[in-house]
Amino acid sequence: MAELFVPIYLLINRYGHRAINDWDGNTIELGENTDGAILAPQVGAGRKEGNDNSFTGVLMGEIKYNTSNR
């Protein structure tokens, strides 16, 4: 038995997508201008606990943490 590790490289032209080029980067963009995509500055999926305000899940995008209020 042998293990084989093959790297996978994913490349995308970040300037070549019309919907991304037209998006302002701050608002949520839905509709015909996005070619079926939903564009948002932050995306999250998971569960938030009510008793201690903790979040278990995944966040993508620019996340700014506020450590003063929990």
pLDDT, average across residues 28-40: 79
> Are the C-beta atoms of 21 and 39 separated by less than 8 Å?
no
Q: What is the pLDDT of residues 35-45, one digit of tens each?
A: 777 888 888 89
Distance CA 12, CA 15 (A): 9
Per DSSP, the residues of the chain read -------------TTS-HHHHH--SSS-B-SGGGTT--B-SEEEEEEE-TTT--EEEEEEE------S--
- Among 44, 46, 39, 47, which residue's Cα sits nearest to residue 63? 44
Read off the pTM: 0.52
